[in-house]
Amino acid sequence: MCGIVGYLGNNDCIENIKQGLLNVEYRGYDSAGISYIDGNKIVVQKRVGNVQNLFDTITCPDGIHCGIGHTRWATHGEVCEKNAHPHLSFNNKFSLVHNGIIENYAMLRDNVLSEIPFRTDVDTESIVNMVAYINQEKPEMPIVNCLGESLKSLQGSYAIAMIAKETPDVIYFARKESPLLIGVADGETFISSDILGLGKNCEKYVVVPNGVYGVIATDGIKAYKQGGKPYELEFKSMISLGERADKGDNAHFMQKEINEIPAVIVNTIDIYLKPLNPLTIIEPSFWEGIERIEFIACGTSYHASMVGAMFAEDNAHKVARTHFASEFVYNPPFVDEHTLCVFVSQSGETADTLHAVKVAKEKGAKTLGVTNVMTSNLVHVCDHTLPICAGVEVAVASTKAYNAQVTVLLLLADFLRDGNYETIARRISSEAMTLNLEEMWANAKKFVKKISNSRSIYFVGRHMDYITCLESSLKLKEISYIPCEAYAAGELKHGTIALVEEGTTMLAIVTEPKLISKTLNIVEQAKARGATLIYYTSLNLKDFAVKDKDVMRAPVVDVELSPLFSIIPMQMVAYLVSVGKGYNPDRPRNLAKSVTVE
């Protein structure tokens, strides 16, 4: 959830931390703070609000070469300056930033640290106070060892960066479950919870392995496994980050990312059409003996997985199901060596999904990740990974990543059938290149006022359209805060129609010709009870007495590919409604881009 950064080097520490925090701010924007050593004192400066607000309201001295920073998504304690990171130890000797959750923080506070004064309501303070406590009890012990001893007491997840007054040119680090990366350049070292937080000069990077802690100093980096055993970090050449956070001429990142969808689909298809591509480089034995496919994901990725499961059954003729990762963990289905578990996550850091991978592997299943971030934990824990090539997605409400996920899952379904997915790949690419986004935006704008004025909205559809309803509803509610729900159209009369009254808005999605009459029969029942109808379709509904003014046009594409393309105008509507209401669609309240806690 939270974003952490740190810098040690010859250049301006404060500017590097600022840029790093701005690049990872989508991970949380409740509050922000920085910490550095000035003279013989640890300085902590933090503010409620976003990163820019922090740097607009503080002043920092020149000549600082080592420091840490944090942008917060609150998990423990209210959003206030006191609870913002970084956190100082009780004796002001240590300052620490943290991403994750310490599950036993209350027990530590009330037992081992019962004589230690706490300043905040957050779990993170127990970490820094534990380090300070051990350092106080064993002053001869090196600080990195004090950190290592502290980690033995912690239950939960963490990515940690810490500075100490006694060692002004050193950053200490530790990682368990939550993401953490270190980057290096000539005379500079960076640390961050996200590769985007590493400095623009970064030449090499490493994803800190699970259970590793260590120290970053001017003379190098030393890492250790639990127990103090030295560990050699293996650095890789830095990947291209040419798409770093830049809105271009767009008002918001979400607008930019919607406009990038056709290119994202085409680019994703292109890498899967190369002779050596992410599907064909996997050893053939991996695909042998698969009898069942379980798709596991959360949120928008779950909806993409529903499309994948539907096509896997229809095209690959495999038993396929979809599971919420959070439920899979506690009530897993029967899986064995004949089961392929497909884990879908934009960030590759979704905590529930990573936990589900562990459960699946314990049961002997084959594991396949689908992610946008090839430096993520998901890549390291799955047997194999399929990239979605969406590029950097900053807006919290996922758009282009969803389309890229659906694209890859459609290819996977045909690949699992007979290994031949080139036909559908070329069809998808051809349809993407003919999309008229300008026309879609213009059409979406016609319905913004009607949707904005609704107290609540019901999305209804059948078969593939039902999945589009689910994702459309999620997009609208998460950035416009209008209560809305999605229902399989046939289920409306089994209870939900009781909620329909004068003024209720219902949006019917109809893209499959064979389902027109069945879906519209249900919709008419709601209309007869006072519902205001919006029909979203690419089909001709004149034979059903539907007026053109009530029809929002969906893109005209191959019906089989409808889930991939029909969502785009719905993403546009959600964006326009949010902006029209005066909200920031990139930063919806209470949400963060990457959910790294369970």
Give the DSSP letter string of 46-94: EEES-HHHHHHS----S---EEEEEEE--SSS-SSTTTSSSEE-TTSSE
**Residue 247 burial (CB count, 10 A):** 15
The whole-number pLDDT of residue 598 equals: 53
- Supply 368's token pair: 């396949």
- Compute the distance between CA of residue 554 and CA of residue 89 in angstroms, rounded to an integer: 57
Q: Using the structure block, give the residue that is written with the tokens 């917060």.
A: 72
- Compute the distance between CA of residue 452 and CA of residue 472 in angstroms, rounded to an integer: 14
pTM for this predicted structure: 0.84
- Compute the distance between CA of residue 360 and CA of residue 373 in angstroms, rounded to an integer: 21
- Supply 322's token pair: 């979809």
CATH of domain 436-586: 3.40.50.10490
Contact residues for 548 (Cβ-Cβ < 8 A; gap 6+): none
Known catalytic membership, residue 2: yes
Enumerate the H helices of 63-104 as residue ranges: none
**Residue 426 burial (CB count, 10 A):** 12
- Compute the distance between CA of residue 119 and CA of residue 125 in angstroms, rounded to an integer: 8
- Compute the distance between CA of residue 169 and CA of residue 144 in angstroms, rounded to an integer: 14
Catalytic residue among 18, 256, 400, 593: 593
Amino acid (1-letter code) at residue 493: K
Q: List b or e across 46-85, with b for residues whose CB sees 16 or more CB atoms inside 10 angstroms.
A: bbbbbbeebbeeeebeeebbbbbbbbbbbbbbeeeeebbb
- Give the chain's end-to-end CA distance (angstroms, integer): 10
- Compute the distance between CA of residue 186 and CA of residue 571 in angstroms, rounded to an integer: 43
The whole-number pLDDT of residue 594 equals: 60
Task: Please give the class, per CATH, of domain 3-237.
Answer: alpha beta
The whole-number pLDDT of residue 492 equals: 75
Contact residues for 418 (Cβ-Cβ < 8 A; gap 6+): none
Beta bridge partners of 68: 6, 35
CATH 3.40.50.10490 domain extents, the chain: 247-434, 436-586
- Compute the distance between CA of residue 29 and CA of residue 70 in angstroms, rounded to an integer: 10
Superfamily of domain 247-434: Glucose-6-phosphate isomerase like protein; domain 1 (3.40.50.10490)
Contact present, 142 and 195 (Cβ < 8 Å): no
- Supply 422's token pair: 């080139």
CA distances for 128 relative to 132, 291, 506, angstroms: 6, 49, 52
The whole-number pLDDT of residue 241 equals: 56
Contact present, 146 and 131 (Cβ < 8 Å): yes
Tens digit of pLDDT at every position of the chain (598 positions): 689 999 999 999 999 999 999 888 888 888 999 999 998 899 999 999 889 999 999 999 988 999 999 998 777 778 899 899 999 999 999 999 999 989 999 999 999 999 999 999 899 999 999 999 999 999 999 999 999 999 999 999 999 999 999 999 999 999 998 889 999 999 999 999 988 889 888 999 999 999 999 999 999 999 999 888 999 999 989 876 555 567 888 999 999 999 999 999 999 999 999 999 999 999 999 999 999 999 999 999 999 999 999 999 999 999 999 999 999 988 888 999 999 999 999 999 888 999 999 999 999 999 999 999 888 889 999 999 999 999 888 899 999 999 999 999 999 999 999 999 999 999 999 999 999 999 999 999 999 999 998 888 999 999 999 999 999 999 999 999 999 999 988 777 787 777 777 778 889 999 988 888 778 777 777 777 777 888 898 888 777 777 778 888 989 999 999 999 999 999 999 999 999 999 999 988 877 666 655 5
Beta bridge partners of 100: 158
- Compute the distance between CA of residue 213 and CA of residue 231 in angstroms, rounded to an integer: 9
- Compute the distance between CA of residue 38 and CA of residue 598 in angstroms, rounded to an integer: 37
- How buried is 528 (Cβ within 10 angstroms: 0-12 exposed, 13-18 middle, 19+ buried)? exposed
* CA-based nearest residue to 387, from 234, 239, 247, 180: 239
Known catalytic membership, residue 80: no
The whole-number pLDDT of residue 514 equals: 85
Catalytic residue among 2, 60, 469, 484: 2
Q: What DSSP character marks residue 483?
A: -
The whole-number pLDDT of residue 595 equals: 60
The whole-number pLDDT of residue 465 equals: 94
The whole-number pLDDT of residue 541 equals: 78
Cis bond upstream, residue 86 (ω within 30): yes
